[in-house]
Structure 1
């Protein structure tokens, strides 16, 4: 159901936003790829270099997907004699600086992972009490992004305190490194995330117990989509709500339909979520490319107005999400919640558009014409119709 904006909450949001970092590293949501879904913690230099080459060859890099994030498992099982994290030498024989240089030479950025406790979620050395040393190490390697988890022993220190420690360490090194807060059990990170980070997880993992290869359906992403409802005013202009990665072309036990995967991509774009891929980009079907390389929908996610969209209608049949765009138009996603195909209608008054509007379909890449008061579309089960709408005289 639609909810009114409460004045006091709005004022609090404005006051909070003023505390955010003055110069965000990127003003639009990050786009890229993450290693955990396709490889879990079985990553190595060869695989990452192959992914980098595939990002270039497939056109993903040129479409905006420039970040390659190495998730949990890149590091050795222990720190070195100086106390530093280092890449596992059998899997990364040339070291992390070499890999960073390889990615940078191809116009890509490199991301890395650690945790605020003594161990990462997969049991490797975390950054607890090594924040300054790790930050300096990452900078020396040429790292561009750090995903910072919340696993491991932390001697009763709060996650907020420990993430703030790492944020300060990163700011002190003189190299811009994007920083993501990953506290998947927290429901309030959005209240303070922009004070110290570029993006923050809004809740739990989109795929649970990934090492056990669970059945993956549209319900995975639909549950995580609900995490951003009501948090729109805390994000924007370089600081982003992250409902977790895309599961388009998820590599194991993927039970989603093509239309359901289009739906996630559409909805992630309209809420200004980071577009982080989780598929094996070395082997992609043409249908996958049609989703991930849709320039018109990527443009919605990357819109210069940097204003996340919000859900304005939710009933038994559908949801309607709306995002105001920089050119004065609105991106609208109509999501069919039903298990059967349905013709669903959009009333212009519900999205504050008076009378007539010109409509463009962002999946068929076609202009639909000018409509008065309402617009209807036939939509697949758990699918979407995504349109760009501008008021007409």
Structure 2
């Protein structure tokens, strides 16, 4: 009898293990906190090559970015040849990527980095390369064989009337069939409704328009670009959480061309993207960073707000003509708070504890100046034009 019971227990364990393995093989890769990494478009546009990406990988490691959490390198539009091969497969441009994508994936994996890739759900990508329309299964199989860890799936190209949701589900199901888990980013850049379906099936999804004009090669970059995209996540808080994230597009901190943002404005974007649990995908050329830019994107205390295990998207509490106050509940019971100055001149902003449902004595940590204080009812801070102060607030137990 005991032997029979042991047999039943063993069989049950094997069944459970098999189900667990099956679930892993038939699901997209888990992302309990927002993805962090670097994307090639803003640095190189569609003129990317193997040497550049390997240099970026080396810089991600040597600069400390990988160890800070930025472990993804995403090849954006332009990595592929202008035509498919005779078997209908996408392949990397042989001049710019002489060793192919699998070689590049292995190089990144050896450095503790993940490889992301790009395609579109139409016949052509936004830059005019072969898209994945009617090639979903062969493309997913190809990416899996190469060792790809992440797919950004755009919405350019002809689709013969098929809706973006249907085409994304084709690709998601094709990826699941390969058995290789991948992070999956939906990029229907003109839609304000993608979250209604993508939150159930994808790692992340664009919440609206491009942060820099679609395929614009020499834009004028100001804080207004990220502030516009910040508005696109408001009202979508309930759709974000562990494993699935609203994506208002990339960080434009250290944008390499015509960047007219002040340092304070760039600190503000990093603070907001961290508070709203957005993916942190860099645009800066990490091979040659300004120390002030590096200090922003390497602020470990602000990154910790983004990577908080609770997975809560912060929300706006107060919005008037001059300032805004945002708050995010954290896993340890504390709160992250942003005071944002909308004015073109320095301004004083007052935070009343009652506005964030706190009372009594609280501990306040300024995440940019690294200063601590204790307050009982309110505090007033001087805030730079279009800048923020960002606090972590703990109640006394």
Q: TM-score, normalised by structure 2?
A: 0.92
> Contact (CA 8 Å) 2:28, 2:183: kept in 1 or not?
no
Residue 172 of structure 2 corresponds to 167
User: What is the deviation of 1:24?
Assistant: 5.5
Matched, 1:381 2:381: no
Partner Cα distance (1:312, 1:163) in 2: 34
Residue 186 of structure 2 corresponds to 181
Backbone CA RMSD of aligned residues: 1.2
Partner Cα distance (2:295, 2:60) in 1: 15
Partner Cα distance (2:188, 2:361) in 1: 44
Residue aligned with 1:326, SS: coil
Residue 91 of structure 1 corresponds to 96
> Contact (CA 8 Å) 2:28, 2:182: kept in 1 or not?
no
**Which of 351, 360, 366 is matched with 1:355 structurally?**
360
Matched, 1:371 2:375: yes
Provide structure 2 residue ranges, at least 5 long, that are not aligned to the other structure.
1-25
Residue aligned with 1:192, SS: helix
Query: Segments of 4+ in structure 1 off by > 6 A?
Result: none
User: What is the deviation of 1:82?
Assistant: 0.4
Partner Cα distance (1:83, 1:349) in 2: 62
**Which of 14, 17, 42 is matched with 1:37 structurally?**
42
> Contact (CA 8 Å) 1:247, 1:279: kept in 2 or not?
yes
**Which of 213, 216, 219 is matched with 1:211 structurally?**
216
Residue 53 of structure 1 corresponds to 58
Give CA-to-partner distance per residue, 1:21-56, whole Å, 9 cap, x none. 988611000000000001000000000000000000
Match runs of 1:72-83 below 5 Å:
72-83=77-88
Residue 230 of structure 1 corresponds to 235
User: What is the deviation of 1:209?
Assistant: 4.4
User: What is the deviation of 1:355?
Assistant: 3.0
> Contact (CA 8 Å) 1:357, 1:392: kept in 2 or not?
yes
User: What is the deviation of 1:356?
Assistant: 2.4
Match runs of 1:277-296 below 5 Å:
277-296=282-301
Residue aligned with 2:200, SS: helix
Partner Cα distance (1:196, 1:85) in 2: 25
Provide structure 1 residue ranges, at least 5 long, that are not aligned to the other structure.
1-20
Cα 1:292/1:193, change in 2 over 3 Å: same
Which of the two has higher C-alpha Rg? 2
Match runs of 1:1-393 below 5 Å:
25-367=30-372, 369-392=373-396
User: What is the deviation of 1:140?
Assistant: 0.2
> Contact (CA 8 Å) 2:251, 2:282: kept in 1 or not?
yes
Partner Cα distance (2:186, 2:291) in 1: 34
Comparing 23-32 with 84-93, greater Cα deviation is found at: 23-32
Give CA-to-partner distance per residue, 1:104-131, whole Å, 9 cap, x none. 0000000000000000000000000110
Give CA-to-partner distance per residue, 1:261-319, whole Å, 9 cap, x none. 00000000000000000010000011011101000000000001111111111111111
> Contact (CA 8 Å) 2:34, 2:277: kept in 1 or not?
yes
